[in-house]
Amino acid sequence: MKTLALSPGDAERARPDVAGFFDPRTFSIQYVVSDPATRRCAIIDPVLDFDEKAGATATLQADRLLAYIEQEGLEVEWILDTHPHADHFSAARYLHDNTGAPTAIGRPVTRVQALWKEIYHWPDLRDDGSQWDRLFDDGDTFRVGELEVRVMHSPGHTPASVTYVIGDAAFVHDTLFQPDFGTARADFPGGCAHQLWHSIQRILALADDTRLFTGHDYMPGDREPQWESTVREQRDTNKHGLKDSSEAEYVELRQRRDSELPMPKLILHALQVNILGGRLPEPESNGRRYLKMPLDALDGASWE
Nearest Cα to Cα of residue 84 among 182, 191, 4, 1: 191
How do the pLDDT tens digits run along the chain, 304 residues long? 999 999 999 988 989 999 999 999 999 999 999 999 999 999 999 999 999 999 999 999 999 999 999 999 999 999 999 999 999 999 999 999 999 999 999 999 999 999 999 999 999 999 999 999 999 999 999 999 999 999 999 999 999 999 999 999 999 999 999 999 999 999 999 999 999 999 999 999 999 999 999 999 999 999 999 999 999 999 999 999 998 899 999 999 999 999 999 999 999 999 999 999 999 999 999 999 999 999 999 877 778 7
Say if 286 falls within a structural domain. Answer: no
Domain that holds residue 29: 4-274
Say if 287 falls within a structural domain. Answer: no
Say if 94 falls within a structural domain. Answer: yes
Say if 43 falls within a structural domain. Answer: yes
Cα distances from 272 to residues 158, 279, 293, 302, in angstroms, run 15, 9, 9, 22
Q: How confident is the model at residue 303, as a pLDDT?
A: 81
Say if 301 falls within a structural domain. Answer: no
d(CA 204, CA 227): 16
Q: How confident is the model at residue 302, as a pLDDT?
A: 79
Say if 254 falls within a structural domain. Answer: yes
Say if 300 falls within a structural domain. Answer: no
Burial of 74 (0-12, 13-18, 19+ CB in 10 A): buried
Contact 194, 234 (CB under 8 A): no
Q: Which domain CATH number covers 164? A: 3.60.15.10
Beta-strand relationship, 47-51 and 28-34 = unpaired
DSSP letters along 61-77, please?
HHHHHHHHHHHHT-EEE
pTM, two decimal places: 0.96
Q: How confident is the model at residue 299, as a pLDDT?
A: 79
As for how many domains the chain has, the answer is: 1
d(CA 160, CA 166): 19
Say if 284 falls within a structural domain. Answer: no
Tell how far CA 301 is from the center of its chain.
22
